[in-house]
């Protein structure tokens, strides 16, 4: 394998809505480049990219798969990503290491919600992007509508390089950069190059001129040339298009039929000739605030963007060389934990196939095995000078489950396996909730969850149970109440004695100080679970020694950790301890803690206690025609609609919904809208539950 420098490496990432044809296009390109001599299909489960068992079972890409081809003078690394946004972690990681993004669209459906979601991520990183309208062979294909959709998405900077045409039943592609008509044989492959047909000349000229102008706009010299000559030659156009792509101000649009191998050769040619190489992108700033030197002589820095675990190989870490070069057996340091890792072998991976290489230079993508303590998002750097590549920000989980091992003895094994899964896929989030006494797993949706379950079953051999997580309720009070508790114990030796009088009241921010009390001390306790306990010492005449007050407060806090209604945390109460008694011999800290706890519990139960539930703020983006169903469903979930906006043909619904009613929402929304709606939700506040709900919960 030849070693390529960053001027001759192109890292291309295929993204796009589910089923747009990314995996098929990748396969066709590998075939065109001669890396494989037979094209597999998704249906026959023999593509290079979708090689994992779960991908065969589901008939869809689940993981981003790095592939590569060598074409003319370049090494083109292709990463084929999944389209379903359950696997958004794989998509974002790949976008992060891309030099050029190829956004594949299905000409039958145009811009889909999946395309829009991904476009937002592309924008975050401002990566050079081209659009490929696929499936032009399909009877329902509409290039025009798809192009309109692209323009609506990216604006007037989308420019057509190719459009499809049928001539006497034969699939043709008109190319307005080369000003050629490519006519394909029915079986695909090499096209016949023809002049532009007479009746297409006007349109092709118009589009050509548009492309020339757009290309000129992005480079001062070219603009001058354009004003002098009135046009640009092909090489000048290439230069301008590349500059425009790098400025994120020009988005070329191509068309192909990946399935029938029409147009993919020309697309490869464009990637080869025009698309930015690794060396063309702006140098990145590191976490340490320095600009990365992208030279092979510079200190080595690798960014690990993907980790997989395969039983036969162990852990495989995929990285991009961000600076310097890496050789087999290099010792590098992980900037997160300072651990030294030995990279015993370096590989180039093509799906399940791997090829050993001696070294990789800056800009390239490779893999290594069996790193000890390196996760996705880590940087490995040469010893001596710490370099940390800015980590990828992954989205928050959209669905949460309580997870436990079916076999109780396997709890620890399960927890270890989940930690491993998280280190490979940061969109899987695990936390043990002390409050709920459950292990909570957060992920991106039902399909994501299904793959986690599959991995636990098949890779780690653990049977896990997923249940709705308990809801983190809170308890509070609605009116004031008093209690007087005497704790007295006389058994043999020293006795225990303490008596506490207290008044409790609902607390709210900005409330006036209590009246009618002689306030000696005030303590505001910020509760770890939210809300406050405001504790007043209103003891008169020293009836309780001041040193016992902290014990009374401790007793109250113990009750607040497990409220009398449902065992949930109590919040937002103020307590005035205003009277009591002590005994010169038998009173002690423990006695006052017990008396404080009992008095508080008694007062709490008489203060119209109320259960509070967590309320989420929910935003749903849904195509206009489906908004009715989504609203009806939301109403059945005790939601309160707060506003509706519209953007293009989408409605944006904003509402608040109790967390307890959101369980399974991602699945439900998907089935209500055929996956065309998206949502996100964030915690908003605790609100009182309706009485009927409280009755059921307190009974349980």
Which of 83, 128, 263, 469 touches ligand GTP by CB under 6 A?
Answer: 83
Quick one: which segment of 15-23, 97-105, 195-203, 524-532 binds Mg ion (CB under 5 A)?
Answer: 15-23
Q: Contact, 444 vs 437, CB < 8 A? A: no
Residue from 8, 10, 24, 245 touching ligand GTP (CB under 6 A): that is 24
**Which of ligand GTP, Mg ion, none sits in contact with 258, Cβ below 5 to 8 A by type?**
ligand GTP
Burial of 59 (0-12, 13-18, 19+ CB in 10 A): exposed
φ, ψ for residue 114, nearest 5 deg: -60, -40
| Contact region with ligand GTP (CB under 6 A), list: 12-20, 418-426, 449-457, 632-640 | 12-20
Contact of 218 with 211, CB cutoff 8 Å: no
The site partner of 496 among Mg ion, ligand GTP, none (C-beta below 5 to 8 Å per kind) is none
CA distance linking residue 373 with residue 656, whole number of Å: 42
What strand order describes the sheet that includes 532-537? Answer: 481-489, 496-506, 573-581, 532-537, 521-526
Query: What span, in angstroms and rounded, lies between the C-alpha atoms of 641 and 635?
Result: 8
Which is nearer to Mg ion, 107 or 655 (by Cβ)? 107
In angstroms, give the least distance from the CB of 87 to ligand GTP.
Answer: 9
Cα separation, 257 vs 265, in Å, equals: 11
> Rounded to whole angstroms, how far apart are CA atoms 462 and 458?
8
* Closer to ligand GTP by Cβ: residue 20 or 424: 20
Q: Is 19 in the site for ligand GTP (CB under 6 A)?
A: yes
As a dihedral over the C-alpha atoms of residue 511, residue 512, residue 513, residue 516, rounded to 10 degrees, the angle is: -120
Q: Are 263 and 255 in contact (CB under 8 A)?
A: yes
Q: Is 67 in the site for ligand GTP (CB under 6 A)?
A: no
Binding of residue 259 to ligand GTP (CB under 6 A): yes
Q: Which of 434, 602, 597 is nearest to 528 (CA)?
A: 434
The packing angle between helices 201-217 and 234-246, to 10°, is: 60
Contact between 101 and 13 (Cβ < 8 Å): yes
Tell me how far apart the alpha carbons of residues 393 and 390 are, in angstroms, rounded to a whole number.
Answer: 9
Minimum distance of ligand GTP from residue 90's CB (angstroms): 10
Write out the binding residues for ligand GTP, residues 483-502 only, by CB under 6 A: none
Options 93, 94, 257, 455; binder of ligand GTP; rule CB under 6 A:
257
Minimum CB distance to ligand GTP, residue 294 (Å): 31
Minimum Å gap between C-beta 31 and ligand GTP is: 13
* Minimum distance from residue 15 beta carbon to ligand GTP (Å): 9
Sole binder of ligand GTP in the list 11, 65, 103, 134 (CB under 6 A): 134
d(C-alpha 171, C-alpha 165), whole Å: 6
Closer by beta carbon to Mg ion, 61 or else 499: 61
Between residues 23 and 551, which has the closer beta carbon with respect to Mg ion? Answer: 23
Residue 24 contacts which entry, Mg ion, ligand GTP, none (Cβ below 5-8 A, type-dependent): ligand GTP
Q: Rule CB under 6 A: say whether 138 interacts with ligand GTP.
A: yes
Q: Given the complex with ligand GTP, which of 60 and 93 has the nearer CB atom?
A: 60
3-state secondary structure 433-488: ECCCCEEEEEECCHHHHHHHHHHHHHCCCCCEEEECCCCCCEEEECCCEEEEEEEE
In terms of CB distance, is 86 or 325 closer to ligand GTP?
Answer: 86
Q: Per DSSP, which regions of 45-140 are E strands?
A: 65-71, 74-80, 100-106, 129-134
Length of the chain: 700
Decide if residue 23 touches Mg ion (CB under 5 A).
yes
Q: Which is nearer to Mg ion, 22 or 296 (CB)?
A: 22
Phi, psi dihedrals of residue 307, rounded to the nearest 5°: -135, 135
In the complex, what is the shortest distance from the CB of residue 137 to ligand GTP, in angstroms, rounded to a whole number?
Answer: 5
In 3D space, the residue among 308, 237, 298 whose CA is nearest the CA of residue 89 turns out to be: 308
Indicate whether 66 belongs to the interface with ligand GTP (CB under 6 A).
no
| The one among 32, 137, 341, 613 contacting ligand GTP by CB under 6 A | 137
**Partner touching 20 among ligand GTP, Mg ion, none, CB below 5 to 8 Å by kind:** ligand GTP
- Applying CB under 6 A, the span of 79-87, 448-456, 518-526, 672-680 interacting with ligand GTP comes to 79-87
CB 84 within 8 A of CB 112: no
Q: How far is CA 22 from the centre of its chain?
A: 20
x/- mask, ligand GTP, residues 26-55, rule CB under 6 A, reads ---------------xxx------------
The DSSP bridge pattern shows strands 129-134 and 100-106 to be parallel
Please select the residue that binds ligand GTP; options are 8, 10, 22, 96, rule is CB under 6 A. 22
**555 scored as a contact of ligand GTP (CB under 6 A):** no
Q: Which span (59-67, 193-201, 606-614, 681-689) binds Mg ion, by CB under 5 A?
A: 59-67
* Residue 257: contacted member of ligand GTP, Mg ion, none (CB under 5 to 8 Å, by partner type): ligand GTP
Stretch that binds ligand GTP, among 131-139, 288-296, 320-328, 382-390 (CB under 6 A): 131-139
Which listed residue (11, 20, 218, 566) binds ligand GTP by CB under 6 A?
A: 20
Where do runs of H (alpha helix) occur along 481-588? 549-560
Could you say which of 61, 93, 129, 157 contacts Mg ion (CB under 5 A)?
A: 61
- Binding residues for Mg ion restricted to 461-490, rule: CB under 5 A: none
Using rule CB under 6 A, residue 103 touches ligand GTP:
no
β-partners of residue 594 are: none
* Shortest Å distance, C-beta 649 to ligand GTP: 23
Q: Report the DSSP pairing between strands 170-175 and 162-167.
A: antiparallel
Q: How far is CA 289 from the centre of its chain?
A: 25
What mask, x for binding ligand GTP by CB under 6 A, covers residues 215 to 254? ----------------------------------------
Cβ neighbours of residue 145 under 8 Å, at least 6 residues apart?
Answer: 110
Q: At its nearest, how many Å lie between Mg ion and the CB of residue 675? A: 15
- Exactly one of 6, 9, 10, 21 binds ligand GTP (CB under 6 A); that residue is 21
| 172 or 570: CB nearest ligand GTP | 172
Closest contact distance (angstroms) between CB of 19 and ligand GTP is 4
Q: Quickly list DSSP for 376-418.
A: TT-EEE-TTS---BPPPPPPPPSEEEEEEESSGGGHHHHHHHH
**How far is residue 231 from each of residues 178, 242, 643, measured CA to CA in Å?**
14, 17, 51
For binding to ligand GTP (CB under 6 A), which residues are involved?
Answer: 16, 18-24, 41-43, 60-61, 82-84, 134-135, 137-138, 257-259
For binding to Mg ion (CB under 5 A), which residues are involved?
Answer: 22-23, 61
């Amino acid at each position: 394998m030849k070693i390529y420098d960053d001027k001759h490496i192109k890292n291309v990432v295929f993204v796009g809505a589910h089923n747009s044809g990314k995996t098929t296009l990748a396969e066709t390109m590998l075939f065109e480049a001669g890396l494989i001599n037979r094209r597999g299909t998704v249906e026959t489960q023999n593509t290079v990219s979708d090689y994992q068992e779960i991908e065969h079972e589901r008939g869809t890409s689940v993981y981003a798969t790095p592939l590569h081809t060598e074409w003319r003078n370049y090494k083109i690394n292709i990463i084929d990503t999944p389209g379903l946004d359950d696997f958004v972690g794989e998509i974002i990681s790949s976008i992060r290491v891309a030099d050029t993004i190829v956004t594949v669209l299905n000409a039958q459906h145009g811009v889909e919600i999946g395309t829009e979601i991904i476009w937002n991520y592309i924008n975050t990183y401002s990566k050079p992007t081209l659009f490929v309208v696929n499936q032009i062979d399909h009877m329902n294909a509409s290039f025009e509508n798809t192009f309109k959709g692209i323009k609506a998405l990216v604006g007037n900077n989308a420019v057509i390089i190719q459009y499809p045409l049928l001539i006497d039943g034969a699939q043709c592609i008109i190319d307005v950069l080369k000003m050629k008509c490519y006519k394909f044989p029915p079986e695909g492959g090499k096209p016949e190059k023809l002049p532009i047909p007479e009746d297409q000349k006007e349109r092709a000229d118009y589009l050509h001129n548009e492309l020339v102008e757009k290309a000129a706009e992005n480079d001062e010299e070219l603009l001058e040339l354009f004003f002098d000559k009135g046009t640009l030659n092909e090489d000048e156009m290439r230069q301008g298009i590349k500059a425009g792509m790098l400025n994120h101000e020009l988005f070329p649009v191509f068309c192909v039929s990946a399935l029938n191998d029409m147009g993919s050769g020309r697309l490869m040619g464009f990637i080869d000739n025009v698309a930015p190489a690794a060396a063309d992108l702006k140098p990145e700033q590191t976490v340490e605030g320095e600009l990365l030197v992208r030279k092979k002589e510079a200190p080595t820095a690798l960014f690990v963007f993907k980790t997989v675990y395969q039983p036969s190989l162990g852990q495989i870490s995929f990285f991009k060389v961000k600076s310097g070069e890496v050789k087999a057996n290099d010792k590098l340091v992980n900037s997160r934990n300072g651990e030294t890792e030995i990279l015993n072998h370096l590989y180039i991976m093509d799906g399940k196939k791997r090829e050993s290489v001696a070294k990789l230079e800056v800009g390239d993508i490779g893999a290594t095995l069996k790193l000890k303590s390196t996760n996705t998002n880590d940087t490995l750097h040469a010893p001596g000078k710490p370099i940390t590549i800015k980590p990828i920000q992954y989205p928050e989980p959209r669905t949460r489950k309580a997870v436990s091992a079916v076999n109780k003895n396997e709890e620890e094994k399960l927890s270890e396996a989940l930690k491993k899964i998280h280190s490979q896929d940061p969109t899987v989030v695990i936390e043990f909730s002390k409050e709920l006494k459950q292990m909570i797993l957060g992920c991106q949706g039902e399909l994501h969850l299904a793959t986690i379950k599959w991995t636990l079953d098949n890779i780690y051999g653990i049977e896990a149970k997923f249940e709705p997580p308990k809801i983190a309720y809170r308890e509070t009070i609605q009116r004031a109440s008093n209690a007087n508790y005497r704790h007295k114990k006389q058994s043999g030796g020293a006795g225990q004695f303490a008596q506490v009088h207290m008044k409790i009241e609902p607390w709210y921010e900005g409330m006036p100080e209590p009246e009618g009390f002689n306030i000696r001390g005030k303590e505001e306790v910020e509760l770890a679970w939210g809300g406050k306990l405001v504790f007043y010492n209103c003891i008169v005449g020293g009836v309780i020694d001041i040193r016992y007050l902290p014990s009374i407060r401790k007793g109250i806090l113990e009750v607040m950790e497990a409220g009398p209604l449902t065992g949930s945390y109590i919040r937002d109460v103020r307590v005035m301890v205003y009277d009591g008694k002590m005994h010169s011999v038998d009173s002690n800290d423990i006695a006052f803690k017990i008396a404080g706890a009992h008095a508080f519990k008694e007062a709490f139960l008489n203060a119209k206690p109320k259960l509070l539930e967590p309320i989420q703020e929910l935003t749903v983006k849904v195509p206009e025609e489906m908004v009715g169903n989504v609203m009806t469903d939301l109403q059945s979930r005790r939601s309160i609609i707060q506003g509706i906006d519209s953007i293009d043909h989408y409605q944006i619904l904003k509402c608040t919904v109790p967390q307890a009613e959101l369980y399974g929402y991602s699945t439900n929304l998907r089935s209500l809208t055929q996956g065309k709606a998206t949502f996100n939700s964030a915690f908003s506040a605790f609100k009182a539950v309706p009485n009927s709900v409280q009755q059921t919960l307190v009974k349980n």
